[in-house]
């Protein structure tokens, strides 16, 4: 017969296979194992329900499956399996359960009395962290797993999540505005650097001069070497605080073509970040790509740049860069590519005399593009006096078609639904856009709601941006004044439920090679995107990105910050699964899509995906509560 100590050790070993117990100190695990009681529940027996009142114990599933049902209904919305725990929220909040937990097989549980639960919470930092940051803790563990998977090729690469303070290790080399050019160049040579920062008293940066400026500002103009730096420097340099992350510096480099970003705190220079610091081992970097795009003079160079954007995305995937950062960087570079295509097509052409603005819709409008994305775009224009919308449209449509065709050649397929600027339906004057949007809002039929879910996520890319700003302001005023339409949008959003299974963990679909798969875009990220859109339109938040919308609406709608961040952690985890799937498909030479087979995920990612779908249900529950659906 086994000794008590060996039984405790066996229980601790079993628990250590699952989060958060796998991160707990051994002595804390043994402390827990000593206080656990084993319980059995037969099939269809209720373990916990709201009508049982105050929570008396903490449950850990040892064996079997437990179904979670909404209070007062038989609707199952979640299934829990070995190693999963409940009800954390109720125990921490000191409230009764809000769901019914029912055995759907024979179930064995480890159970801990509520007093011991709170003692463990105080005793174990790992358990406390998991209990208060459940989804965030699981995501961090998954992220470490991803990075370990790619460690062989990326061990020395700088993480774009690092704060700039950890990257800018070298003291910045500076000079004064009155320093002669010759002396500054000697300083650059002696220190073997590519740029010098011009500072005033208090180390306040007022300008930058780099080796790239030599030809245009010194050699060709024959500038006297006695010229003070104030006359040759680039004035009013942009900077970031030392607490900013590396990906923010990368974004700044991409948008403006910089090779250096200053780090300054309280107006005082503390460091300089070069592109080499960020992408020293990558074949392509943000600034090289953006510079190549800006220098492109034809389609061939643009196609190469588009391929480099995708390669950069793959490199960042291998680094374990977070989905929020990765999608923003990819979208920013795609923006720059699109702008250059428009500029080249507009060069010396009569069409561009019209006051117009190129609009991005859908995922591009939200800055949430993945590695596989088609086109969703349009045009908005002003009608000059003496002309008509039809006459202006006739001028712009050939231009729009050329742009759409070049984008297609660059790897952004033509939209199957023809949501493109070359379609006369989406090349409209400001007043025509208002009329179309107004018709959708007033009608509220299924087609109008579908259109709203695409077109209301618009963002200006190039041209008269004030036209898009005017339309955005008008749209927010119209929707906030039309609660019936918002109610219809909310009801429509709730028709798309996250695929949590009743019999299995996930409700899969698909046929043939796609059998037993999930659509992570339709059923995974879309519930978050749809809810964020409704919240933003209802509260007058002008942002288009899902994260910015949820964070902006939270304060106005009294949604706790921790709740919103849990939603967003889940949203970006699903985005990351999409990106990983597309990355692997592209590496294998397969067409990229948004589907995965959950059975092929490791145990940790399956658990996080299930938790992420639970969070999608929660954001939908908030939507249903607000609109009484």
Which residue's structure tokens are 């320093």? 179
CA dist., res. 135 & res. 80, Å (int): 15
Note the pLDDT of residue 156. Answer: 36
CA dist., res. 260 & res. 238, Å (int): 10
506 or 402: which leads in pLDDT = 402
Rounded average pLDDT over 336-356: 85
Note the pLDDT of residue 157. Answer: 42
Regarding whether 175 and 222 lie in a shared domain, the answer is yes
Backbone angles phi, psi at 542, to 5 degrees: -80, -10
100 or 135: which leads in pLDDT = 100
Regarding whether 177 and 122 lie in a shared domain, the answer is no
Report the 10 Å Cβ neighbour count for 227: 16
The per-residue DSSP string of 226-257 comes to TSBGGGTSEES--EE-TTSBHHHHHHHHHHHT
Read off the pLDDT of residues 220-266 as tens digits, 9 standing for 90 and up: 899 999 999 999 999 989 899 999 988 888 888 878 878 888 999 98
- CA 116, 56, 101: angle at the middle one, nearest 5? 120
Note the pLDDT of residue 25. Answer: 92
Q: Is residue 231 one of the residues assigned to a domain?
A: yes
Regarding whether 169 and 99 lie in a shared domain, the answer is no
Q: Is residue 619 one of the residues assigned to a domain?
A: no
Residue ending a domain, choose from 83, 114, 132:
132
Q: What DSSP designation does 159 have?
A: P
Residue ending a domain, choose from 247, 279, 311:
279
Q: Is residue 56 one of the residues assigned to a domain?
A: yes
Handedness of CA 463, 464, 465, 471 (dihedral sign): negative
Which CATH number do you get for residue 87?
2.60.120.10
Regarding whether 202 and 97 lie in a shared domain, the answer is no
Which ranges of 296-429 would DSSP assign to H, the alpha helix? 299-319, 323-346, 362-365, 389-409
Read off the pLDDT of residues 539-576 as tens digits, 9 standing for 90 and up: 999 999 999 999 999 989 989 888 898 899 899 999 98
Domain tally, the chain = 2
Backbone angles phi, psi at 241, to 5 degrees: -75, 160
Read off the pLDDT of residues 404-418 as tens digits, 9 standing for 90 and up: 999 999 999 999 999
Give me 274's structure tokens. Answer: 């070069």
Backbone angles phi, psi at 304, to 5 degrees: -60, -40
Regarding whether 128 and 168 lie in a shared domain, the answer is no
Q: Is residue 157 one of the residues assigned to a domain?
A: no
Q: Is residue 250 one of the residues assigned to a domain?
A: yes
Read off the pLDDT of residues 177-196 as tens digits, 9 standing for 90 and up: 999 999 999 999 888 788 89
Regarding whether 240 and 189 lie in a shared domain, the answer is yes
Q: Is residue 402 one of the residues assigned to a domain?
A: no
Report the 10 Å Cβ neighbour count for 267: 11
Which band of pLDDT confidence, cut at 50, 70 and 90, is reported for residue 102? Answer: very high
Regarding whether 111 and 56 lie in a shared domain, the answer is yes
Q: Where in the sequence is the domain holding 70, given as residue range(s)?
A: 35-132
Contact (CB, 8 A) for 608 and 493: no
What is the H or E stretch that residue 164 is in?
none
pLDDT over 90 (residue 162): no
pTM of the model: 0.67
Rounded average pLDDT over 202-209: 92
Q: Is residue 55 one of the residues assigned to a domain?
A: yes
pLDDT over 70 (residue 121): yes
Which band of pLDDT confidence, cut at 50, 70 and 90, is reported for residue 202? Answer: confident
Regarding whether 173 and 119 lie in a shared domain, the answer is no
pLDDT over 70 (residue 625): yes
CA dist., res. 409 & res. 406, Å (int): 5
CA dist., res. 347 & res. 234, Å (int): 27
Q: Is residue 266 one of the residues assigned to a domain?
A: yes
Which band of pLDDT confidence, cut at 50, 70 and 90, is reported for residue 592? Answer: confident
């Amino acid at each position: 017969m086994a000794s008590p100590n060996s039984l405790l050790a066996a229980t601790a070993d079993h628990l250590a296979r699952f989060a958060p117990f796998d991160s707990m100190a051994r002595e804390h695990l043994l402390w827990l194992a000593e206080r656990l009681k084993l319980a059995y529940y037969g099939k269809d027996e209720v373990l916990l329900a709201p009508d049982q009142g105050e929570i008396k114990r903490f449950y850990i599933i040892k064996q079997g499956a437990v179904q979670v049902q909404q209070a007062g209904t038989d609707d199952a919305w979640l299934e829990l399996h070995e190693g999963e725990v409940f009800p954390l929220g109720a125990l921490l909040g000191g409230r009764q359960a809000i769901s019914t937990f029912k055995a759907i097989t024979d179930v064995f549980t480890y159970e801990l009395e509520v007093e011991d639960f709170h003692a463990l919470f105080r005793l174990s930092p790992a358990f406390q962290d998991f209990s208060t940051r459940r989804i965030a803790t699981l995501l961090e563990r998954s992220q470490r797993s991803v990075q370990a998977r790619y460690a062989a090729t990326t061990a020395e690469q700088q993480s774009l999540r690092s704060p700039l303070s950890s990257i800018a290790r070298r003291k910045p080399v500076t000079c004064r505005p009155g320093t002669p050019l010759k002396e500054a160049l000697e300083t650059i040579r002696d220190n073997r650097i590519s740029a010098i920062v011009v500072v005033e008293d208090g180390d306040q940066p007022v300008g930058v001069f780099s080796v790239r400026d030599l030809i245009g500002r010194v050699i060709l103009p024959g500038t006297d070497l006695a010229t003070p730096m104030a006359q040759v420097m680039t004035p009013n340099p942009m900077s970031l605080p030392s607490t900013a992350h590396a990906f923010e510096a990368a974004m700044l480099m991409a948008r403006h073509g910089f090779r250096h970003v200053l780090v300054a705190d309280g107006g005082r220079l503390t460091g300089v970040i070069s592109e080499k610091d960020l992408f020293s081992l990558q074949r392509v970097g943000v600034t090289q790509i953006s510079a190549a795009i800006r220098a492109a003079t034809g389609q061939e160079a643009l196609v190469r740049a588009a391929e480099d954007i995708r390669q950069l995305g793959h490199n960042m995937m291998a680094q374990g860069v977070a989905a929020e950062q990765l999608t923003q960087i990819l979208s920013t570079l795609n923006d720059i590519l699109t702008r250059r295509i428009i500029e080249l097509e507009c060069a010396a052409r009569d069409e561009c005399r019209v006051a117009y603005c190129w609009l991005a819709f859908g995922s591009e409008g939200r800055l949430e593009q993945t590695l596989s994305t088609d086109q969703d775009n349009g045009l908005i224009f002003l009608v000059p006096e003496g002309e008509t919308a039809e006459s202006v449209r006739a001028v712009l449509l050939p231009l729009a078609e050329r742009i759409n065709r070049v984008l297609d050649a660059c790897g952004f397929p033509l939209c199957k639904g023809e949501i493109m600027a070359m379609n006369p339906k989406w090349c409209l004057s400001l007043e025509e856009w208002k009329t179309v949007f107004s018709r959708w809002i007033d009608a509220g039929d299924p087609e109008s709601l579908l259109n709203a879910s695409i077109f209301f996520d618009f963002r200006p890319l190039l041209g008269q941006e004030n036209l898009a700003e005017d339309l955005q302001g008008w749209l927010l005023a119209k929707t906030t004044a039309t609660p019936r339409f918002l109610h219809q949008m909310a009801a429509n959003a709730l028709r798309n439920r996250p695929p949590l299974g009743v019999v299995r963990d996930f409700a899969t679909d698909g046929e043939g090679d796609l059998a037993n798969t999930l659509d992570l875009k339709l059923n995974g990220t879309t519930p978050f995107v749809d809810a964020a859109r409704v919240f933003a339109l209802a509260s007058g938040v002008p942002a288009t990105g899902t994260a910015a919308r949820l964070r902006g609406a939270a304060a106005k709608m009294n949604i706790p910050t921790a709740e919103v961040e849990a939603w967003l952690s889940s949203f970006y985890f699903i985005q990351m699964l999409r990106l990983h799937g597309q990355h692997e498909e592209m590496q294998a030479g397969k067409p990229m899509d948004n589907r995965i087979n959950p059975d092929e995920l490791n145990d940790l990612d399956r658990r996080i995906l299930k938790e992420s779908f639970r969070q999608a249900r929660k954001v939908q529950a908030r939507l249903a509560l607000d609109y009484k659906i």
